[in-house]
Amino acid sequence: MCGIAGTLTAGAAAGDDVHRGMAEVLAHRGPDATRIHPLPGGALVSTRLAIIDPAGSDQPLTGCTPDVCAVYNGEIYNYRHLRELLRRQGHHLHGQGDGEVITHLYEQYGRQFVEHLRGAFAIALFDARTDELILARDRMGEKPLVYAVQNTTVSFASEIRALQPAVGAGAVRPESLPAYLLYGFAPEPATLLEGVSKLPAGHFAVVRRDAGVQLTLHRYWTAPVGPPANGGEDAPDRRGDLITVASAALAEAVEQQTYADVPVAMALSGGVDSTLLARIAARTLTDLRTYTVGFDWTPTDELDAAAATAQALHSKHTEIRLSVDDYLHLLRRGSRSASEPIADWTLPAYLALTTHCHDDGVRVLLTGHGPDELFLAYRWVRQAIAYIRQPGSPPETIDAYTFNPEYAEAMDLIDSVLTGTARAIPATTSATLPDEAFRQHLRSALLRGYLVSNGLMQLDTLGLMNAVEVRVPYVDHKFVEAVSVLETPGSDREAMPKAKLYAIAETLDLPIHYVAKRPFFPTLAAVTPSILSMAQDHLLSGELAAAGLIRPNAVRQLLLSTPTIGNGLNVLFRLLMLEMWLTHLRKPAL
């Protein structure tokens, strides 16, 4: 795990101070080593968190010749297999780390090198022979990579803040604000700043210096969202075989992701997602550590269920309880330091989790994110599916997200809160599709939208704030491909949306009793007064108001209306998190 950055220009090269500034911003992502590697007309920047082969494997990485060099963030989980493959093909690898395979694969396969990688990664590779810079991102978008094209220069980085030494602090992009209020994030490839884009998941970009600089995007993988339309070899009578394939893919993903040369732990809740991962991990980790987070003022958290699971696993278990003061302190800290605004009420819990891991010497944390999106387990998603199944349901296009109360709240308030220049409503998840096609449509939207731009972004950001690498086995692309061709029997869909996970657990001889889904979410009444006070302090005269993007009078009226969830509180919270992020972006010393 690392932070990466750099520039490539067809004009005057950026000064050393620019690349040093980028490295300084990324220091928290890689406290173990910092390297700036000059290129003709640019540089590659790396800050390293040493997880595999700590004593070696410093970046930049080179291939058989120094003409090919690379920096990367993340882990290549199948690197041991790839090292053996490359040796058989005549390559000489000198270190013991995972990253060395990147440059050698590129020398062997060219731009298709990325298709051989199984892992979570963001890569910047320069080929002096072709004078090309290649930027690549993993299939599911676990590791971030943003870029800006400005005049004759391309700049890139793991975090938006690290672009500032090269491109300055850009203005807020008005077109991104409606989507941000509706979803809580700016869907990729957009960001909330003008001129800055995210490299989409499953893509690589080629940068060439032809008449300036040209950046061309290439998609190399698309997340599958459902079984083949014609059944074919994936017909229902092969369901048992397909469950076996999915089970093997998950077991292999967990085995690969529990490997590290530093201490590894599991985030544990009382649900099936993390319980199954922990039980698989316990097969290979004899000294398994587990962590769970709860809220002092919330009676519906999962501390007791997690403790029972930990006891059954004989893990070394840490229970973290947050007070209201803890919650608010962590919220402020997270809003200031995040690579993007995190408009999620669970931010303090995940930040507390990685803080405790860091303090205990843990450098790798596995989490159970992913099944809610893969198996359509959110309540509002099931409500949308049930709606279109009703006899006589309207044939016109419906917006599935209107079943999400946070989205519906924002839709009601966008016109009053945002000014005219920022009010265009983005396209949403809607369809006039048959039942299964509609399910696939929703799964695609959740995987490519909410999971990537909120869930995985949040885990990466909050982990690296504390120099902890967060790994997510359920979004291993082999597992995603395997479960996508499974069809849950209709009777299981709403009553037990994660029926596939229970079937996988049975196949792995790790049966799990059914557990009803409970949201990992604090009761907000105790923190609402403080949130409203913070919103008043920041929003009425902050950057969004000064730039004419929000209407202060409308915000003031909303603050006076005693807002609650579903009635304005989420909108105020999202604006607040954006405003506080912008304040730190402009004045990082605050």
Report the catalytic residues.
Answer: 2
* Strand arrangement, sheet containing 2-9: 33-39, 42-48, 2-9, 153-157, 146-150, 197-198
How many alpha carbons fall within 13 Å on the CB side of residue 251? Answer: 15
- N-terminal to C-terminal alpha carbon distance within the chain: 27
Kindly tell me the sign of the dihedral angle through the C-alpha atoms of 123, 128, 129, 132. positive
Alpha carbon 186 to its chain's center: 13
Is 324 marked as binding a ligand?
Answer: no
Answer for the pair 441, 217: CB distance below 8 angstroms, yes or no. no
* Strand arrangement, sheet containing 264-267: 316-322, 289-295, 264-267, 364-366, 469-471
Is 293 marked as binding a ligand?
Answer: yes
State yes or no: cis peptide before 60, omega within 30 of 0: yes
3-class secondary-structure state, position 36: strand
Pure H helices in 261-389 = 272-281, 303-313, 324-337, 347-359, 371-374, 379-389
Answer for the pair 409, 571: CB distance below 8 angstroms, yes or no. yes
Q: Which of 269, 193, 250, 187 is nearest to 444 (CA)?
A: 187
What lies within 8 Å, CB to CB, of 356 at 6+ separation is: 291, 318, 320
Answer for the pair 341, 180: CB distance below 8 angstroms, yes or no. yes
Using CA atoms, how far apart are residues 290 and 568, in angstroms rounded to an integer? 36
Binding-site annotation: residue ranges: 98, 293
Tell me the binding residues for L-glutamine.
Answer: 98
Q: Which residues are annotated as a binding site for ATP?
A: 293
